[in-house]
């Protein structure tokens, strides 16, 4: 049977194609708010980082009502690094709305999220958004979408997708381009007509798949998921079936469902609804909550394996403990384990070194977001350079993750971009000249070749280039290549930066510190303009004499220093360097702080080679 009173849909798209803005408009037109009520834009992007960066990081649940039908909506991230969030969201829905920009057309993350949706067997409604753009080309984009569906082996039913045109910012949708632009009624009607109502078996007992976890200071751990069969009431005794069939008893202390963006208490939950249960602490994503007698486990959520890892350690610099509150390895372990429980694409392992952990995920951007989140929570930690996870095939060949990279840039930058990516073992597979002074390049490149390349790419294209990529699979190892052609300027003592010393260091390279910044032995204070590292004294003061000069001393004027960002720091460091992260500062340092020990290690390596 199908529960016709409910529809569950996910909104999927490439980054910045308008998912969250469209959801805002759906809220306003479904009568969720009063006419005179002030409402913020991008309501679903509730995290500070999401609002600052203008992207969705975590999938969010909400609901609207239309024509007596409850529509549960999941707003998903568009960035491939957060693909685990997309897969988690797709386990709770029966269909999806694919948003495609009327100018840009399908882009790499469009392919990524659509592939996951089609593999899950869901029906898709295609919405060509932003048709009000001056450079909009809706008919061409529709043809590109059809080509993408065919390329991704969509079924005949999936190929017969409903098509709408929209301006999400204005809250309008049309079935044809010539239709009047009134409101989102065509979209709501299409969802109810074309997306299947959730299917359930009346003879089966209650079954719910845990697809997300939450936490409440009052209720403890919250299990979030879709009810596949049966009904549940508050206070009922159930069991949680974990990995390996382990069964843990629980009592539903509170049952909640989504009303708009808020949770509301419910006495009972129907099949197909997305609910929040409290009353069990030891629960994981993929577990099944069911009845004590005769309850069976549902298939667990499966996600793609991680492709990148980073080493997380406690802060061991001389400045440790000055700026943060969370300092110990136990706190660091607890926080990382909590992240792995709530994020299906993150895995945490103990590292060889003391007080260190290996965190595995989908990409360097996902790692940077995790570090930035922890930093804002008061943690002090050090992180290493992102490294890719290698594999070995049956013949013993070394394999590495390969990405499909799309570059859109001006014609004059084509040579530079191609040369730089070739150095990083990238291979050009396609080139399209749009005839408007811009070209689209398509590369097949190792994932490790893209680590640290984004800043270099923006510099090479003078900030006008756009690059996006998605994970294509594992391929044969393509050999080593240099990650950086410059060395580091390393402080040889502790103290504070002095203007006179920094002024005299400027010819040696690009500085990262300003006068009065605290420095310590082993801290990286700049980028050397040669390939080797150089130990320097940034604390040296001008010697004073009792001789009067005939003229005034010249004022020291230093070059402006660009503040170090987390992504820039992670991209800059080499394998023997770390990023020290605190709530107030981002510093670069050598893994081995002692100058003498570094020289000894370097000499030992030379002997071995």
Residues 35 and 168 grouped into a single domain: yes
pLDDT average, residue stretch 458-471: 83
pLDDT average, residue stretch 61-70: 82
- Give the pLDDT confidence score for residue 85 in this predicted structure: 67
Residues 141 and 277 grouped into a single domain: no
Place of tokens 């959730």: 198
Residues 42 and 101 grouped into a single domain: yes
- Give the pLDDT confidence score for residue 567 in this predicted structure: 82
- Give the pLDDT confidence score for residue 70 in this predicted structure: 86
- Kindly report the CATH number assigned to the domain that includes residue 62: 3.40.50.300
441, 476, 511 - which closes a domain: 476
In percent, how much of the chain has pLDDT > 90? Answer: 9
- Give the pLDDT confidence score for residue 54 in this predicted structure: 45
> Does 145 map to a domain?
yes
- Give the pLDDT confidence score for residue 79 in this predicted structure: 53
- Kindly report the CATH number assigned to the domain that includes residue 585: 2.40.50.250
As given in the structure block, the two tokens for residue 80 are 């491939």
- Give the pLDDT confidence score for residue 364 in this predicted structure: 80
Residues 400 and 430 grouped into a single domain: yes
As given in the structure block, the two tokens for residue 112 are 């990524």
Residue 40 pLDDT > 70: no
444, 476, 508 - which closes a domain: 476
Nearest alpha-carbon partner for 557 in 508, 515, 509: 515
Q: Bigger pLDDT: 51 or 91? A: 91
pLDDT tier, 17 (very low <50, low <70, confident <90, very high otherwise): low
Residue 58 pLDDT > 50: no
- Kindly report the CATH number assigned to the domain that includes residue 429: 3.30.70.240
Taking the C-alpha atoms of residue 171 and residue 321, their distance in angstroms, rounded to an integer, is 50
Residues 176 and 237 grouped into a single domain: no
Q: Bigger pLDDT: 230 or 382? A: 382
Taking the C-alpha atoms of residue 201 and residue 288, their distance in angstroms, rounded to an integer, is 16
Residue 392 pLDDT > 80: yes
290, 314, 340 - which closes a domain: 290
- Give the pLDDT confidence score for residue 132 in this predicted structure: 87
**Under 8 Å between Cβ of 409 and 464:** yes
Residues 183 and 223 grouped into a single domain: no
DSSP sequence for 116-156: HHHHTT-EEEEEEE-TTSTT--HHHHHHHHHHHHHHTT--H
**Least confident span in 7-11, 415-419, 476-480, 603-607:** 603-607
Q: Enumerate the known binding-site residues for GTP.
A: 16-21, 129-132
> Does 348 map to a domain?
no
pLDDT tier, 580 (very low <50, low <70, confident <90, very high otherwise): very high
- Report pLDDT digits (tens) over 233-257: 877 888 888 877 788 888 888 888 8
Residues 512 and 589 grouped into a single domain: yes
pLDDT tier, 57 (very low <50, low <70, confident <90, very high otherwise): very low
Q: Which long-range contacts (CB under 8 A, 24 or more apart) does 116-121 make?
A: 116/83, 116/86, 116/87, 116/90, 117/10, 117/12, 117/90, 118/149, 118/152, 118/153, 118/154, 118/155, 118/158, 120/90, 120/91, 121/155
> Does 339 map to a domain?
no
Q: Give the pairing type, strands 308-314 and 268-269.
A: unpaired
Q: What is the mean pLDDT of the chain?
A: 82
- Give the pLDDT confidence score for residue 30 in this predicted structure: 66
**Least confident span in 46-50, 215-219, 526-530:** 46-50
> Does 347 map to a domain?
no
For residue 286, what are the domain limits?
Answer: 207-290
**Under 8 Å between Cβ of 553 and 536:** no
- Give the pLDDT confidence score for residue 597 in this predicted structure: 86
Number of compact structural domains in the chain: 4
Residues 471 and 509 grouped into a single domain: no
Residue 38 pLDDT > 60: no
What sections of 343-431 are H helices per DSSP?
A: 364-376, 414-423
Taking the CA atoms of the chain, what radius of gyration do you get in angstroms?
27
- Report pLDDT digits (tens) over 202-229: 778 888 888 877 766 677 778 888 888 8
- Give the pLDDT confidence score for residue 217 in this predicted structure: 66
- Kindly report the CATH number assigned to the domain that includes residue 256: 2.40.30.10
- Give the pLDDT confidence score for residue 43 in this predicted structure: 44
> Does 158 map to a domain?
yes
Residues 43 and 112 grouped into a single domain: yes
> Does 297 map to a domain?
no
> Does 215 map to a domain?
yes
Q: Three-class SS of residue 299? A: coil
Residues 183 and 114 grouped into a single domain: yes
> Does 602 map to a domain?
yes
Q: Enumerate the known binding-site residues.
A: 16-21, 129-132
- Report pLDDT digits (tens) over 72-115: 888 776 555 555 667 777 888 888 889 888 888 887 778 878 88
Residue 270 pLDDT > 80: yes
- Give the pLDDT confidence score for residue 287 in this predicted structure: 85
Residues 184 and 68 grouped into a single domain: yes
**Under 8 Å between Cβ of 345 and 367:** no
Residues 439 and 502 grouped into a single domain: no
Residue 354 pLDDT > 60: yes
């Amino acid at each position: 049977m199908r529960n016709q009173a409910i529809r569950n849909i996910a909104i999927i798209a490439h980054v910045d194609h308008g998912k969250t803005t469209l959801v805002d408009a759906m809220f306003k037109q479904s009568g969720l708010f009063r006419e005179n009520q002030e409402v913020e834009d991008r309501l679903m992007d509730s995290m500070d980082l999401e609002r600052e960066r203008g992207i969705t990081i975590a999938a969010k649940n909400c609901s609207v009502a239309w024509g007596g039908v409850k529509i549960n909506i999941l707003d998903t991230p568009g960035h491939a690094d957060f693909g685990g969030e997309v897969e988690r969201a797709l386990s709770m829905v029966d269909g999806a709305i694919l948003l495609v920009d009327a100018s840009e057309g399908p882009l790499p993350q469009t392919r990524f999220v659509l592939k996951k949706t089609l593999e899950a067997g869901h029906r898709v409604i295609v919405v060509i958004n932003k048709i009000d753009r001056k450079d909009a080309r809706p008919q061409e984009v529709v043809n590109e979408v059809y080509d993408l569906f065919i390329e991704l082996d969509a079924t005949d039913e999936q190929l017969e997708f409903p098509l709408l045109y929209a301006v999400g910012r204005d809250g309008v949708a049309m079935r044809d381009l010539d239709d009047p632009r009134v409101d989102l009624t065509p979209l709501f009607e299409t969802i109810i007509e074309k997306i299947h109502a959730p299917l359930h078996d009346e003879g089966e007992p209650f079954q719910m798949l845990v697809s997300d976890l939450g936490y409440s200071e009052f209720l403890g751990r919250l299990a979030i998921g879709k009810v596949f069969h049966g009904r549940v009431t508050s206070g009922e005794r159930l069991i949680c079936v974990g990995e390996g069939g382990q069964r843990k008893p629980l009592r539903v202390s509170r049952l909640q469902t989504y009303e708009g963006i808020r949770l509301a208490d419910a006495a009972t939950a129907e099949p197909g609804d997305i609910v929040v249960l409290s009353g069990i602490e030891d629960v994981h994503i993929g577990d099944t909550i069911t009845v004590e007698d005769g309850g069976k486990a549902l298939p667990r959520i499966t996600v793609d394996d991680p492709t990148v890892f980073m080493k997380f350690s406690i802060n061991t610099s001389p400045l440790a403990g000055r700026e943060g509150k969370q300092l110990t390895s136990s706190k660091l372990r607890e926080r990382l384990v909590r992240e792995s429980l709530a994020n299906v694409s993150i895995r945490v392992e103990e590292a060889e070194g003391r007080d260190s952990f290996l965190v595995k995920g989908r990409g360097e951007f996902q790692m940077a977001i995790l570090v930035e989140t922890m930093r804002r929570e008061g943690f002090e930690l050090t992180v290493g350079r992102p490294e890719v996870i290698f594999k070995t095939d049956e013949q013993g060949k070394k394999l590495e993750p390969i990405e499909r990279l799309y570059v859109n840039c001006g014609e004059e930058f084509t040579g530079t971009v191609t040369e730089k990516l070739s150095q990083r073992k990238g291979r050009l597979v396609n080139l399209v000249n749009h005839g408007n002074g811009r070209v689209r390049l398509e590369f097949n490149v190792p994932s490790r070749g893209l680590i640290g390349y984004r800043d270099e790419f923006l510099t090479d294209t003078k900030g006008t280039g756009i690059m996006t990529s998605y994970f294509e699979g594992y391929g044969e190892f393509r050999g080593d290549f240099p990650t950086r052609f410059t060395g580091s300027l390393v402080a040889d003592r502790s103290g504070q930066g002095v203007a006179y010393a920094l002024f005299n260091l400027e010819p040696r390279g690009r500085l990262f510190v300003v006068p009065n910044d605290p420095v310590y032995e082993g801290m990286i204070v700049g980028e050397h303009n040669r390939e080797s590292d150089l130990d320097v004294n940034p604390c040296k003061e001008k010697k004073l004499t009792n001789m009067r000069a005939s003229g005034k001393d010249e004022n020291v004027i230093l070059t402006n220093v660009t503040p170090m960002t987390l992504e820039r720091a992670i991209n800059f460091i080499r394998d023997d360097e770390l990023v020290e992260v605190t709530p107030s500062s981002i510093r670069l340092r050598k893994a081995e702080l002692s100058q003498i020990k570094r020289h000894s290690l370097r000499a030992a390596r030379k002997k071995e080679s």
